[in-house]
Structure 1
Amino acid sequence: MKYSISTLLSLGAIVIFLISSCKNNKPNADLSSLNLLRGELQLCGNGEFGDVNFSESCSYETRETFNLAISLLHSFEYIEAEKAFAKVIDKDPECAMAYWGVAMSIYHGLWAPPEKSVLEKGVKLIAIAEKLPKSKKSKQYLDAIGAFYKNWESADDQSRKLAYAQKMKDMYEENSEDTEVAVFYALALRASAVASDKTYSKQREAGQILEDLFRKEPNHPGIAHYIIHSYDYPELAKLGLNTARRYADIAPNSAHAQHMPSHIFTRLGLWDESIGTNLNSAESAICYAESVSPGAHWDEEVHAMGYLVYAYLQTGNNKLAYQQYEYLKSFKEIFPPNFKIAYTAAAIPARIAVENKNWEEAGTLELPRIAGLEWQKFPWQKSLLHFARALGNIHTNNLEFVHKDLNFLRSFEKELIIVDDTYKANQVAIQIKTIEAWIKLKKGNNEEAITLMTTAAEMESLTSKHPVTPGEILPADELLADMLLALNKPQEALAAYELNLVRRPNRFNGLYGAAIAAKQSGNMKKSAIYFEALLKLTEKIDSDRKEIKVAKAFLEQNTI
């Protein structure tokens, strides 16, 4: 068959057009707008992050990198996980699951709702992946996380979490034999739970799925990690203890994996174990920061410090608690300047002051100045310090300053209500109710004070703590007990202290308060039990806490 030159030229133009069109459909055309994190992976130690074999990875050449990315993702090493997925994309730009991996690396379902820029990035990632060839299972993964990102402008964060969890449930029911599907479903299920649900039905379901998997795959980082998150509640913590003691060994080079067991240790009052695992976490985080940004401090180090200070205070170790605070104040640069750093920066000085009942120090607290941290973005975190300051000024009779701090707390609550952050708004509401109660007590309105403080304790009992915190600045149960003791109601105070100790075992002030309340109730045997528990808690520490001297003196005079 012969063609004229004009016909051949026309055919050539069509071919060029088609080739050009195909190129324009390639994902590379859209990659520049994604701002993917790139660079050499910064993995401290031997790069041990557990064993993962993800069946939906793409080319054989990228399988090892893809599995590493999944392992990093399972230990919430989000930055390096995204970089690893970006490496896969650069080698195999048509790997749809690599775009899913980045979308998962920026989805922090157990933490704060993502910012607008993150949501927009997620939408772009899903849009690119949808154009690429993919297996049925890959499409299910993408459709699931797409349910979280795509309608972010019209649906709130919780609704989108529920939509994602439902898609993962559908996928799990069809692929229940697939470990990774089950693990990601369990995480989505746990992330969709609301703090006010005290039945913990979703957490229990997620935990059961993961426990069944853990028996088959004991070196999988995600299984161990998400079991801990599922059982990070006073009523469930014992279920996670064995796993907590295993997780750090599964992923020894992950700062978050080293820290995470302390969530369970804190719930059970195992302070020495909490201190050990957080020291390891901080060391790993420092190693990472030195590789990424020498001289700066990573949020995982700061997060570990918050748990360290809490544990030190429960063992009466003021020296090391203050040492962490002085170290924090020396920070010149942090990354990223997020809610975790803001929380710890406010909580550390507040805790040290009020746990020691150093009311003068509490009444003069100021927010630490840390470069890059914009405090106006963190009303809940700021409330911690104003709450502690208000308590300090109540006890030092500076009621004028108390009302100033109370007004700050009310303004923070309004800010959080406006942005529909109901959990944090409720946390501030508990603080407000507590301060109002103690103002009433200071003014002699005792019954109103007890009523308000009881309400605050009930409010706190109906909600769970946020994963960022090892516990409240001061538990409302404990503050109610303190108030009852101050009003010479030792038996009622003892009941409140004991309830507090059930919910928060081995708290220093809880044990001491229970011992004093029992003594004032005439129950010397029970008082001795609590004083002995306090001394056992602090036996390894050369502490200057006066409560320890009181305990020793009582036990010397009362051999029960």
Structure 2
Amino acid sequence: MKKVFIKIACSFFIILLSAIIACNPRNKTPSNESILDLNLKQGEIAVCGPADKQFGLVGFGTSCSPKVQKDFDLAMALLHSFEYDEAEKVFAKVIEMEPDCGMAYWGVAMSNYHPLWTPPTLLELEKGTKAILIARSIKQMSKRESAYIDAIAGFYEDWEKVDHHARSVRFEKGMEKVYRDFPEDNEAAIFYALSLVASASPADKSFKNQKLAGSLLKDLYSKQPNHPGIVHYIIHAYDYPQLAALALPAAKEYSSIAPSSAHALHMPSHIFIRLGLWQESINSNLASISSAQCYAEQMKMKGHWDEEVHGLDYLVYAYLQKGENIHAKSYCDYLDSIKEVEPVNFKVAYAFAAVPSRYVLENQLWDDAANLKVWEGFPWKGYPWQRAIIHFTRLLGSVHTGQLNAARIELKTLYSLHDTLENQKDVYKADQVLIQIKASQAWLLLKEGKQEDALKMMRTAADMESKTQKHPVTPGEVLPASELLGDMLLEINRPTEALQAYEVDLKQHPKRFNGLYGAGQSAKQSNEIDKAAYYFQQLIAIAPNSNRDELKVAKAFLEKNKLGI
């Protein structure tokens, strides 16, 4: 009831503000009351990098006075690295110095949209809407600036009635118009590229939007090599197995362009992981985690910043692929010790579910998987997709330890979480849980002695997953369905088919530890000596410091067959 009252009150304010603006078309400087009502984030920004090169270089011309230009450009650089809270602080500073700088309110609206992340909250949507109304009340702006404001206004318009993706498409169309109308404006091209990636359909396997975005950005890269948005959005545009190699140069540069941004330090690992560059991913996330810890300290947070937790997810994943369990376990334990995070959000929920799940599943610690414990005080009810990971892990652990009744109970929970996501009309996440359901059913059928039914169901799960891209928040599925299919085929002594499944998986998830080992074992059992050697040699190359037993098997095979290690 309280939430409804707040929403009605905020809606009334927006209507009232619109009426005031409509009745006063000559209004130039917003009132102090309307600015205060935005409840803007305030304060100094945190700087955790070298003094001479912090967030990259952006030059965004506006009709605002020269006295605010430096701060405006800094806010833009922060915005391009998704440092949304810090960007809003600097836009707020610009507003304080010059309340009739219309583009500063545009910046506030952009800071509360955050494309490619989770949709804005109710409060963020209301703040963005109010900022746009104020921006439109200021008449001393260029046609270009008005076009920018119109583009983001399309995202906020009718947000109570129109879904997030449809409004993201509106923003894309709005930015396309800005790009077409002002071809000399590089920022228009950069934001248009971002809007293309944000509005891309997950079902489009031609990657039309992403390729167009990448093309626009690569044309600008040589002209503005220190622009954070260009390299950042190249990474996002090509964050797919089929395209990742195209983003490798940008991934190698981004951290040096914006070293004070924890997100900029982390983001290259998206591409490194796509290409199986595990050590590079480890280095990237160690730097990001350190920067995030510095940020939390400077902001005097009671707990940890969400960017640190996000980096831990990617870090543990990379350590597991190198078979370095000691390091992986130490960071799992460190995550488990964290009891306060700011803010609590979707990526925090994902990390707290995925990190411990990955550790036990990748190492086939089935007893630990069946009895997986996670942070009990966390508000899991609000995150059904992430919560499903926990129950999927427990289910696989129960299946592999012969506790089929316990597994069936976990399966019922997965069904319930899937229904919740469907009722929320979150099709992507509902499908992700459905893949887990299919895989779970397959392993239950296998343990019930129904091999062909099990394989049919597991192939269905693998086929579904092959048609679904991973969410940007995650380094990858906790266990890829195609890899699980290979595991199942190997378990029932069908190594030739298992090899085919692992090879399909390795195209999507190159150099995964278990994928390489499974492929090597399948080839070995199929008497394909050269293929077995190929996969075992790759395994040894990516995991030179691992003490996992799989390395002993691989080395013994190569030595027995007098093949090089």
Give me the TM-score of the superposition, normalised by structure 2.
0.93
1:91 CA displacement: 0.6
Is the 1:110–1:191 contact (alpha carbons within 8 Å) kept by the matching residues of 2?
Answer: yes
Shift in Å, 1:536: 0.9
1:521 has 2:552 as partner: no
Separation in 2, partners of 1:23, 1:267? 52
Q: Distance in 2 between matches of 1:520 and 1:303?
A: 39
Q: How far did 1:419 drift?
A: 1.1
- The aligned runs of 1:275-354 (5 Å cut-off) are 275-354=282-361
How far does residue 21 in structure 1 lie from its aligned partner after superposition? 11
Measure, in 1, the Cα distance between the counterparts of 2:27 and 2:482.
64
Question: Which residue number corresponds to residue 135 of structure 1?
Answer: 142
How far apart, CA to CA, are the structure 1 residues paired with 2:320 and 2:488? Answer: 22
Answer with 44-53 or 23-32: which moved more: 23-32
Partner of 2:547: 544
Paired residue type of 2:561: N
SS at match of 1:497: helix
- What is the aligned counterpart of 1:76 among 49, 62, 82? 82
Q: Cα offset for 1:135?
A: 1.1
Cα distance in 2 for partners of 1:528, 1:559 equals 10
Q: 2:425 aligned with 1:410, yes or no?
A: no
Letter in 1 for 2:509: R
1:464-483 equivalence runs, <5 A: 464-483=469-488
Is residue 43 of structure 1 aligned with residue 47 of structure 2?
yes
Counterpart CA distance in 1 for 2:63 and 2:266 is 29
Letter of the structure 2 residue corresponding to residue 310 of structure 1? Y
Matched, 1:171 2:178: yes
1:448 corresponding residue in structure 2: 453
Counterpart in 1 of 2:384? 379
- Indicate conservation of the 8 Å contact 1:198/1:463, yes or no: no
Q: Summarize the alignment of residues 356-371 of structure 1 with structure 2, pairs less than 5 Å apart.
A: 356-369=363-376
Task: Tell me the CA shift for residue 396 of structure 1.
Answer: 0.3
| Counterpart-to-counterpart distance in 1, 2:238 and 2:419 | 32
Q: Distance in 2 between the 1:24 and 1:472 partners?
A: 52
Q: Which residue of 1 aligns with 2:441?
A: 436
Residue 420 of structure 1 aligns with an amino acid whose one-letter code is K
- Which residue pairs with 1:499 in the alignment? 504
1:92 maps to which of 89, 98, 103: 98
Picking from 45, 67, 70, the partner of 1:64 is 70
- The aligned counterpart of 1:559 is 562
SS in 2 for 1:216: coil
Q: Distance in 2 between matches of 1:27 and 1:309?
A: 50
Residue 6 of structure 1 corresponds to none
Deviations 1:319-377 (A, max 9, x none): 1111111111211321100111110011000000000011111000022246xx42111
2:260 pairs with 1:261 = no
One-letter amino acid of the counterpart of residue 29, structure 1: E
* CA–CA separation in structure 2 for the residues paired with 1:175 and 1:369: 53
> Contact 2:63–2:142 (CA<8 Å) still a contact in 1?
no
Contact 1:50–1:251 under 8 Å retained in 2: yes
1:103 aligns with 2:109: yes
Q: Shift of the alpha carbon at 1:293?
A: 2.4
Residue 516 (structure 2) aligns with:
511
- Please, which moves more after superposition, 324-333 or 348-357? 324-333
Letter in 1 for 2:551: I
Q: Say whether the 8 Å CA contact 1:500–1:510 is kept in structure 2.
A: yes
Note the alpha carbon deviations across 1:501-550, whole angstroms, 9 max, x for none: 111110000000000000110111211111111111111x2x33111111
Q: 1:227 aligned to 228, 231, 234, which one?
A: 234
Q: Which runs of 4+ in 1 moved over 3 A?
A: 20-25
Aligned residue type for 1:546: D
Q: Which amino acid is the alignment partner of residue 537 of structure 1? A: I
Alignment-derived partner of residue 30 in structure 1: 34
Q: Does 1:113 align with 2:113?
A: no
Query: C-alpha displacement at 1:454, in angstroms?
Result: 0.5
Once the two structures are TM-superposed, the CA of residue 111 in structure 1 deviates from its matched residue by 1.1
* Native 8 Å contact 1:480 1:493 kept in 2: yes
- Aligned residues of 1:27 and 1:94 also touching (Cα < 8 A): no
1:5 equivalent in structure 2: none
Q: Which deviations, in whole Å up to 9, do the C-alpha atoms of 1:364-396 show, x marking residues without a partner?
A: 0022246xx421110000111111110010000
Deviation at 1:426, TM superposition (A): 0.5
Question: Is the 1:186–1:226 contact (alpha carbons within 8 Å) kept by the matching residues of 2?
Answer: yes
For the 8 Å contact 1:296–1:334, the answer to whether it is kept is: yes
C-alpha offsets along residues 44-66 of structure 1, whole Å, 9 cap, x if unaligned?
23261111000126111110000
> Cα gap change, 1:344/1:137 in structure 2, threshold over 3 Å: closer, same or farther?
same
Letter of the structure 2 residue corresponding to residue 549 of structure 1:
K
2:208 to 201, 205, 209: 201
Structure with the greater alpha carbon radius of gyration: 1
**Does structure 2 conserve the Cα–Cα contact (< 8 Å) formed by 1:197 and 1:463?**
no
Partner residue, 1:419: 424
Specify whether residues 495 and 24 from structure 1 end up closer, same or farther in structure 2 by C-alpha distance, changes over 3 A only: closer
1:457 to 457, 462, 474: 462
Distance change >3 Å, CA 219–CA 24, structure 1 → 2: closer
Distance in 2 (alpha carbons) for counterparts of 1:357 and 1:40: 47
Separation in 2, partners of 1:27, 1:472: 50
Which residue of structure 1 aligns with residue 280 of structure 2?
273
Displacement after TM superposition at 1:127 (Å): 0.7
Name which of structure 1's ranges 109-118 and 488-497 shifts more when overlaid on structure 2: 109-118
1:57–1:63: 8 Å Cα contact kept in structure 2? no
Q: 1:155 matched to which residue of 2?
A: 162
Q: 2:188 matched to which residue of 1?
A: 181
Tell me whether 505-514 or 168-177 shows the greater mean CA deviation. 168-177
Identity of aligned residues (%): 53
Tell me the SS of whatever aligns to 1:467: coil
Where structure 1 has 5 or more consecutive residues not aligned to the other structure, the ranges are 1-19
Once the two structures are TM-superposed, the CA of residue 275 in structure 1 deviates from its matched residue by 0.3
Paired amino acid for 2:499: L
Contact 2:414/2:433 (8 A) holds in 1:
yes
1:65 corresponds to which letter in structure 2? D
Moved more, 287-296 or 352-361: 287-296
Q: Unpaired runs of 5+ in structure 2?
A: 1-23
Kindly indicate whether the alpha-carbon contact (under 8 Å) linking 1:285 and 1:298 is maintained by their aligned counterparts in 2.
Answer: yes
